[in-house]
Amino acid sequence: MAPSLLFQELMFEVVGIAEEAGKAVMEIYFQGDFGTVYKTDNSPVTRADTTSHDIIAGKLRALTPDLPVLSEESGIEPYVKRRLWNALWLIDPLDGTKEFIKRNGEFTVNIALIEDSHPVLGVVHAPALAVSYFAAYGVGAFKKGADNQIKRILVEPDLHMPLKVVTSRSHDGGGLERLFDQTISFERIRVGSSLKFCLVAEGVAHLYPRLGPTMEWDTAAGQCVVEMAGGSVTDLRGGNLKYNKLDLFNPPFMVSCSPASSWQNFLKTQG
């Protein structure tokens, strides 16, 4: 079997795992007893986070026993051990826990396969919206809706005015003036979780700048979907984001429907 076909088969297996975790998340969502506790950084964790983690981690270990799993809700192995991992699963069992608690539906289950510090397979499942976005290198980027129909997705082909910019629902998007000259008008689209990546990937938005702190598990799956849809995810100087680093925090970054050089030049010429 050709490598791309094997990758495609693996991609659909992981979509099924994300959707199974999503069903468990929705059971807790409708029950209403979230069992919310708070980490030392004051970020919330619910029963949905831990239940989703248990399902995903168990299924991935059964599917690929030789690959380690790194999750927001698991202990972090020391870097002296992690640096030897050429491939790993990177998961966020419930991205957008604040949106989950607010019951606005904008939360996701994120699963990514990392190879040589880069995401090569990604699944973003939004259980409350009954939609999944998924992608794999050599295969493409796709969206599956509530009707179970699967369609290929592509970014908006060009940056143009009016500029559509995605920002976070729960985190202050302040600081955009550092990127956008005051003469640049833009339409702000607010949405929670890694759905921001997906709006760029399916051509609804042009850019998603993130200046505040994020972790690797917040971005890996969405990055793969964007890149396989024809877009880019880079730091603000145009460099590639790296994964399984010593420090698991991401630098500020830009998700774009175009290559890094294009959005940088576009903002300069419009300002």
Residue 5: the pLDDT is 65
Residue 1: the pLDDT is 40
pLDDT digits (tens, 9 = 90+) for 165-177: 998 876 655 566 6
Residue 171: the pLDDT is 63
Mark the ranges of the chain whose per-residue pLDDT is less than 70. 1-5, 40, 170-184, 271
CA distance 8 to 261: 30
What percent of the chain lies above the pLDDT cut of 70? 92
Domains annotated for the chain, with CATH where assigned, are: 3-152 (3.30.540.10), 163-270 (3.40.190.80)
Residue 35: the pLDDT is 82
Q: Rounded to 5 degrees, what angle do the CA atoms 19, 21, 27 make?
A: 105
Identify each DSSP E strand in the chain by its residue range. Answer: 37-38, 44-45, 69-71, 87-95, 108-115, 118-126, 131-136, 140-144, 150-152, 163-168, 186-191, 207-210, 232-235, 253-256
Residue 153: the pLDDT is 98
Cβ partners under 8 Å of residue 80, min gap 6: none
